[in-house]
Amino acid sequence: MTKPQTRAATRTLHNKALACWIAFMVFGVAVIWAASVRAEGEKTIKSHGYSFYGDLTYPADYPYFGYVNPDAPKGGEISIATLGTFDSMNPYTRKGRGGALSTVMYESLLGEGVNAATPADVYAEYYCLLCESLEYDEGKNWVIFYMRPEARFSDGTPVTAHDVAFSQQLILEQGLKSYADAVSKRIAGMEVIDDHTIKYTFTPEISRRSLIEVVGGMSVWSKKWYEETGARLDESRLDISPGSGAYMVDNIDVNRHITYKRNPDYWGNDLPFNVGRNNFDKIRIEYFGDENSAFEAFKAGEYTFRNEGNSKQWATAYEFPKVKQGYVVKDEIPDGSPPTPTGIVFNLGREVLKDRRVRQAVALGFNFEWTNESLQYGLFKPRASFVQDTPLMAMGVPTGAELEFLQSLGDLVPAEMLNEDAVVPHTSGAARLLDRRNARSAMKLLDNAGWAVGTDGMRRDADGNALRLSFLLNSSGSATLSAVVENFMSNLRAMGIDAVLEKVDASQYTARERDRDYDLVFDQYIPFLSTGGGLQQFFGSEAAAFSLFNPAGLASPLVDAIIEASQRTDTKEETDVTLMALDRALRHEFFMIPVWYNDVHWTAYYDQYERPETIPAYALGYLDFWWYNQDKADALRAAGALR
Contacts of 124 (CB under 8 A, 6+ apart): 23, 24, 25, 26, 51, 52, 213, 529, 530, 532
Q: At which of 242, 265, 292 does a domain end? A: 242
Q: Given 191, 211, 242, which residue is the final one in a domain? A: 242
Whether residues 605 and 583 share a domain: the answer is no
pLDDT tens profile 577-630? 999 999 999 999 999 999 999 999 999 999 999 999 999 999 999 999 999 999
CATH number of 500's domain: 3.10.105.10
Q: Are residues 420 and 540 in the same domain?
A: yes
What digits encode the pLDDT tens for the residues 378-426?
999 999 999 999 999 999 999 999 999 999 999 999 999 999 999 999 9
Phi–psi pair at 343, nearest 5 degrees = 175, -170
Query: What pLDDT is attached to residue 41?
Result: 61
pLDDT of residue 183: 79
Report whether 362 contacts 317 (CB < 8 A): no
In whole numbers, what is the pLDDT of the chain averaged over residues? 91
Please check whether residues 115 and 264 belong to one and the same domain. Answer: no
Collapsed DSSP state (helix, strand, coil) of residue 308: strand
211 and 142 Cβ atoms separated by less than 8 Å? no
Mean pLDDT, residues 520-534: 90
In a domain, 65, yes or no: yes
Q: Is 20's pLDDT higher than 50? A: no
Domain count, the chain: 3
**Does residue 1 lie within any of the structural domains?**
no
**Average pLDDT for 349-378:** 97
Whole-structure pTM value: 0.86
Q: Measure Cα distances from 220 to 18, 107, 271, 315 in Å.
A: 13, 6, 18, 43
- Give the model's pLDDT for residue 176: 74
Report pLDDT digits (tens) over 344-358. Answer: 999 999 999 999 999
pLDDT in tens, 86-102: 999 998 887 888 999 99
Could you tell me if residue 402 is inside a domain? Answer: yes
Q: HEC string of 342-399?
A: EEEEECCCCHHHHCHHHHHHHHCCCCHHHHHHHHCCCCCEECCCCCCCCCCCCCCCCC
Q: What is the pLDDT of residues 273-310, one digit of tens each?
A: 999 999 999 999 999 999 999 999 999 999 999 999 99
Check whether 12 has a pLDDT greater than 70. no
Determine the 3-state secondary structure of 23 from DSSP.
coil
Of 212, 242, 272, the domain-final residue: 242
Q: Which residues 6+ apart lie within 8 Å of 617 measured at CB?
A: 120, 121, 336, 337
Angle subtended at Cα 208 by Cα 203 and Cα 210, rounded to the nearest 5 degrees: 100
459 and 504 together in one domain: yes
Assigned domain for 419 exists:
yes
CA pair distance 425, 595, nearest whole angstrom: 9
Distance CA 90, CA 439 (A): 47
What is the model's pLDDT at position 160? Answer: 98
Tell me, yes or no, whether 461 and 562 share the same domain: yes
* In-domain check, residue 86: no
Predicted confidence (pLDDT) per residue in 432-478, tens digit: 999 999 999 999 999 999 999 999 999 999 999 999 999 999 998 88
Residues 494 and 396 in one domain: yes
Percent of the chain with pLDDT over 70: 93
Residue 340 lies in a domain: no
Looking at the domain assignment, is residue 2 inside a domain?
no
Q: How far apart are CA 439 and CA 81, in angstroms?
A: 40
Same domain, 319 and 230: no
Tell whether 643 is covered by a domain: no
State the CATH number of the domain containing residue 614: 3.40.190.10
Q: Are 261 and 248 within 8 A, CB to CB?
A: yes
Q: Percent of the chain, pLDDT > 90?
A: 81
DSSP H or E run through 214 = helix 212-216
Task: Round to whole Å and give the CA distance between 163 and 62.
Answer: 28
Q: Are residues 382 and 513 in the same domain?
A: yes
Q: Are residues 575 and 447 in the same domain?
A: yes
Q: Dihedral of CA 223/228/229/231: which sign?
A: positive
Residues 213, 268: one domain? Answer: no
Name the residue range of residue 564's domain: 348-597
In this structure, are 588 and 479 located in the same domain?
yes
328 and 398 co-located in one domain = no
Does residue 137 surpass a pLDDT of 80?
yes
